[in-house]
Amino acid sequence: MVAPNVKGLNCPNCGAAIQLRSGELAQTVACSSCAAILDAKDPNLRVLQEYSGRMRWTPLVPLGTRGKLKGDPYEVLGFQVRGIRVDETDYLWREYLLWNPYKGFRYLTEYDGHWNDVVVLKKTPAESGGSRPTLEYLGETFKHFQTAEATTKFVLGEFPWEVRLGDKATTRDFVSPPHIISEETTKDETTWSLGTYVSPQYIWEAFQLPGKPALPRGVYANQPDPSAGSAAALWRIFGIFALVLLGMLIVRQTTARRELVFRQGYTVTSHNADSTAFVTPVFAVKGRTSNVRLTIDTDLRNNWAYFNLALINDQTGTAYDFGREVSYYFGYDDGYWSEGSSSDRATIPTVPPGQYYLRVQPELGNDNREPLGFTLTVHRDVPSLTFFVIVFGLLALPPIFAAFRYHAFEQMRWRESDYAPTTSDDE
């Protein structure tokens, strides 16, 4: 970049030194001391407007700072604070006018630590109407975000247009993160600009600013979601896992032996549990170590029964102790009702092959004095859905969490728009 052709003058309002860096291009210049707006075309810098506001803003990137953006050197010429008023609240942002004699003008905007690198568009984007307009620009679709009236609140430095405090423009923002297209309409003209979200660190490095930038607060209109695409990718991987699970389930269901190893019917007449204990004949449980399923089918009617059970290895003396309750009640109270079931089953995991018998001790409820008839059935290697359901659920957790994060981020983004999701507080 060539050395700047700086023209030194003095502010007629306060006497402070004024520097004109863009030479003939400057239309107005705001004194960095008293913030009065001066006519840069006038040899005496005629005062166009004095600043009477109490608030003063200091540019985070000082006027005259030179830095490199996208490989090209730029110098900060002007700084203005603009704002919109929504629901009695002022939202202010800061704009920096940058200049390169060969590349022209460029802007930086900053709001709550969110920075955008902005260039003016030479071509008007194609707009589609409707209740929620969109723009098409270079193959990208931008969604309408907000329409507002922006007011210039504070100005410093020089500008290639006639800037005034209180200048108003109707702004319409369209977003497609990390891009934003803004339309600004005044009574004289309409301009379109394209902003690209950049990190504060990028600005600090570009202009070699001292210290560290403030961290961005909240979610900005065109701030890219750091987890964007993550949820979709996770769902795709989950889909593959789900297919693998389905394949495994089919294989398991079709290859499980479900071998019937024992079945016998019994009748209990005594209600004294101590006298009802018995053992079954020994039966062979074959094959590899796998599960064993015991099914109890009873003829219970409005009664309960409790079965103390032990599957005992006749050779090793290892027993698997467990108990099952079966209860079945039914009747008519304003219609038929029933509760419980006359059958029950239990799965005993990892049972090695061997010779086994069951030790059974039924306890019979006193709600019905009828004898209890029941059948015990033992199957070997029975498939179960339980682990498939658990694994399916665990695999679904990460994509669900990522989708939740994505939607929360988008909700925060659109909360500041004209399409803010309605909450109960708003009603």
Partner 1 sequence: MMRQHPVYLLFGILLIAMLGFAEWRGWSVARPTEVKNVPRSVRDNPGSYRPAYLYYGSGRYMRGK
Q: Residues in the site for partner 1, rule: CB under 8 A?
A: 229-230, 233-234, 236-238, 241, 244-245, 248, 252, 274-275, 277-279, 288-292, 303-304, 306, 308, 310-312, 314, 317-325, 327, 329, 344, 346-351, 357, 359-361, 365-367, 381, 383-384, 386-388, 390-391, 394-395, 398
Q: Which is nearer to partner 1, 214 or 233 (CB)?
A: 233
How far apart are CB 318 and partner 1 at their closest, in Å? 6
SS3 of residue 413 by DSSP? helix
How many angstroms separate the CA atoms of 406 and 224, rounded?
11
How far apart are CB 331 and partner 1 at their closest, in Å? 11
Helices (H) and strands (E) in the chain, counts: 3, 26
How far apart are CB 220 and partner 1 at their closest, in Å? 25
CA 238 to each of CA 227, 232, 242, 243, 325: distance values in angstroms, whole numbers, following the listed order: 17, 10, 6, 9, 39
Q: Which is nearer to partner 1, 171 or 227 (CB)?
A: 227
Residues 6+ apart with CB under 8 A from 63: 32, 76, 77, 78, 79, 156, 157
How far apart are CB 148 and partner 1 at their closest, in Å? 38
Q: Which is nearer to partner 1, 81 or 360 (CB)?
A: 360
The 10 Å Cβ neighbour count of residue 221 is 21
How far apart are CB 360 and partner 1 at their closest, in Å? 8
How far apart are CB 65 and partner 1 at their closest, in Å? 39
Q: Which is nearer to partner 1, 115 or 304 (CB)?
A: 304
Q: Which is nearer to partner 1, 218 or 287 (CB)?
A: 287
Q: Which is nearer to partner 1, 204 or 328 (CB)?
A: 328
How far apart are CB 225 and partner 1 at their closest, in Å? 14
Beta-strand pair 278-279/72-86: unpaired
Task: Confirm if 306 and 323 have CB atoms less than 8 A apart.
Answer: yes
How many angstroms separate the CA atoms of 107 and 128, rounded?
27
Task: Give me the sign of the Cα torsion angle 39, 42, 44, 46.
Answer: negative
Q: Which is nearer to partner 1, 22 or 276 (CB)?
A: 276
The 10 Å Cβ neighbour count of residue 232 is 12
The 10 Å Cβ neighbour count of residue 29 is 29
Query: Can you read off the two tokens belonging to residue 78?
Result: 């002007």
Tell me the Cα Rg of the chain.
40
